[in-house]
A and B are shown apart, each in its own frame.
Chain A
Amino acid sequence: MNKQEGSSVVSLRNQNGLPLLEVTDLHKYFRVRSSGGLFGKKNNLKAVDGVSFSVSRGETLGIVGESGSGKSTIARLLLKIDNPTSGVIKFNGRKLSGLLPVELRKLRQHMQYVFQDPLGALDPRMKIIDQVTEPLIIHNIASKSECHDKAAELLRSIDLKDHTFYRYPHELSGGQRQRVVLARALIMEPQLLVCDEPTSALDVSIQAQVINLLARLRERMGLTMIFISHDLNIVRHICERVSVMYLGKVVEQAQIDLLFNSPAHPYTQALLSAIPIPEPGLNRQRIFLKSDPPSPIDLPSGCRFHTRCHRAKPGCAERIPELKSLKNGQLVACHLAHGEI
């Protein structure tokens, strides 16, 4: 294991210039009946609407946003669990669309997914060790006994005791289960790990254990990670760059310190001010957003955020703001930040 690990790190370094993942103008529309029940008119629900980003090797990109902003849809598109309506996803320079199923399966070895709910992600009738060896057997990588040794070594390295190997998922605690899900993703030694809310089902003390483990494994295996979360506290701790999403669009993207110290988009500002800080008596200035997010079927004109924005001006409802770079390299989609209104 160690030897392979070493070689994979070397090969990663060699290709350092190229981004591992490149997403250009990604769209995903779902056809839904918005009103009138069974015979109502069908409308487009724009879950992801023109998202572009790239992730370089060894980097961790955070995607944050409220429920319904399209975070999880992006994750599913990246792994081709769903097909995009339009747009291009390139992994290692290869387009994901138009791949033959055989080719896709080969590529999937290098990209793995960690789900939010570990109990739902594991097979209730399979022993832990079998769940972790299954990917190796599916991809026909090693013989059965080798698989077993490899899985056992990995499980031990993430602090699971030998006696848990032959148990079933319901016999483990939430934190242990999430470790198993992690192990199952990592046994393939992937280059890209997509984590969709990996700790939101866990308690705080356990959450810290899993986050530390993720950070340690990322170092050791040279992982590139996409970390999807609604919890900005964790994102700040583990990510290097963040994309903030609102209703299917990226509204701001920046290096972690820039974003947290000088958020440029009004939505990011409101989001950061809404997060409680574990320190009493701070008396922070809080921005309260008006009302609820609008329906993704019936989107507001112009800037999607203008209906809730505390700084909105009349012009915001007319033109759609582009995601453009500020002087310091922060990407923002807001007319006000760019001084256009």
Chain B
Amino acid sequence: MNEKLTESVIKSQRAPLLQISDLTIDFNTPTGWIRCLHGVGFEVYPGEILGLVGESGCGKSITSMAVMKLLDPRARIGGNVRYKNQDLLTLDENGLTKMRGRDIAMIFQDPVSSLNPVHTIGRQVVESIIYNSAIPFLNNKVMGKKKTEMVKKHQRVTVQAARIEAERLLNRVGIPETKQCLKQYPHELSGGMNQRVMIAMALAGRPQLLIADEPTTALDVTIQAQILELIRSLRNEMEMSIILITHDLSVVAETCDSMAVMYCGLIIEKGTVEGIFADPHHPYTRGLLASLPRIDRQIDMLLPVEGSVPAPHEMPRGCAFEPRCNVALNVCKIRQPAPTTESHGRSISCFNPQYGGFQV
């Protein structure tokens, strides 16, 4: 307990790397504006792996897309996203280009569709290395015709250096025959190998924050174990922070330091992984944990969360979880609970949080 206390004291003295507060996202649909994120807030501290968990449609991915500003430009984004005291939401296109890849990099769920099928792995990794090291030269607006030739000459040297760097990166992410791999196309590699290539490309800019959006969902368990181990070791080696987006609570338990549970565009509970798994307070978190079948013991009966997630245009007036909640109060129907902060950075959005007595 003491250890954890000191840990949280240290944490509170450090400045967060990424601070998101009150983030809202609305999409325009034929039936009008629909709000998909209802004020999401969390912090990522240096060197920390944060797990963002929730079921499909709860807004995990669009939160990360908003951070990278990859959403459709017609989407309305509100709130604050601060990266090292820089407001990402007000950055212009130039600033964003500099930020993406070098400060914050991202890897996606399906590596095969994220890679270009008609270019070799080598070309794609080299491209991302050059892009991340020589942005001013490559920016078309800056480049005149005379300068282009100079850049080309300059690039020939960089391509050589970039190839060596590419080999080093592929080697680091655990690809056995790097020379051969550079000449291959994505379809010639397995899913796990493609995901390693994606991670190598993300590392090219030496980012301080890596957003991994369901990086192992498309992979087999034995390969998943390899990739998660790789991600953990990279964090230790490069002192990166990582946001791991996943629907798999077991992956969070084994990989992350802290976690945030999302439901219907809201963070309903966040805190340290140990704290939440030992004593989940929000009824939804409890329900999720109770509905997991487990490999390490025999359970007589799974306890599912009954009902299903409401559609974004049919959100209840009060707490979004109230229709499925088994400890709902009257007030839950009327008002949305605001997040309340407890010790050790724990925060819950619930009028009737449950304490203790949780046993799977």
Contact = CB atoms under 8 A, between A and B. Distances in A.
A233 interface: yes
B277 A279 contact: yes
Interface string A267-307: 00011111111111110001011011100000000000000
A280 B304 CA distance: 22
Contacts of B306: 209
Interface string A57-85: 00000000011000000000000000000
B190 interface: yes
Contacts, number: 124
Interface stretch (B8-16, B283-291, B340-348): B283-291
Q: How large is the interface on B (under 10, 10 to 19, 20 to 34, 35 or more residues)?
A: 35 or more
A100 interface: no
Nearest to B218: A67
B294 A233 contact: yes
A33 to B, nearest CB: 14
B221 A208 contact: no
A176 interface: yes
B304 A236 contact: no
Interface residues of A, number: 42
Contact of A208 (B220, B298, B303, B309): B303
Interface stretch (B97-105, B107-115, B151-159, B243-251): B243-251
A175 interface: yes
Interface string B308-323: 1100000000000000
Nearest to A276: B250
A234 interface: yes
B222 A280 contact: no
Contacts of B309: 173, 203
A64 B248 CA distance: 19
A230 interface: yes
Contact of A233 (B273, B277, B289, B295): B295
Contacts of B138: none
A95 B211 CA distance: 54
Nearest to A257: B298
Given A205-B288, A206-B308, A272-B295, A278 B253 contact: yes
Given A234-B293, A236-B298, A289 B304 contact: no
Interface in A144-186: 173, 175-176
Interface in B214-241: 220-226, 228-229
A231 B220 CA distance: 10
B304 A209 contact: yes
B192 interface: yes
Contacts of A260: 295
A286 B225 contact: yes
B62 interface: no
B292 interface: yes
Given A203-B56, A203-B247, A280-B253, A271 B221 contact: yes
Contact of A277 (B222, B294, B308): B294
Contact of B247 (A204, A272, A282, A289): A204
B55 interface: yes
B304 A281 contact: no
B182 interface: no
A92 interface: no
A304 to B, nearest CB: 15
A42 interface: no
A272 B225 CA distance: 11
Contacts of B255: 276
Nearest to B176: A291
Interface in B128-155: none
B304 A276 contact: no
Interface of A: 66-67, 173, 175-176, 203-209, 211-212, 230-234, 236-237, 257, 260, 270-282, 286, 288-289, 291-293
Given A205-B304, A209-B306, A292-B192, 17 more contacts: A66-B220, A205-B55, A208-B291, A208-B305, A212-B301, A212-B302, A233-B250, A236-B294, A257-B298, A270-B222, A274-B222, A275-B250, A277-B295, A278-B249, A279-B296, A281-B274, A286-B225
24 contacts: A203-B309, A204-B249, A205-B288, A207-B291, A208-B293, A212-B302, A231-B293, A233-B250, A236-B293, A236-B295, A237-B294, A237-B298, A257-B298, A272-B295, A275-B295, A276-B248, A277-B295, A278-B294, A279-B296, A280-B253, A280-B274, A289-B222, A292-B192, A292-B223
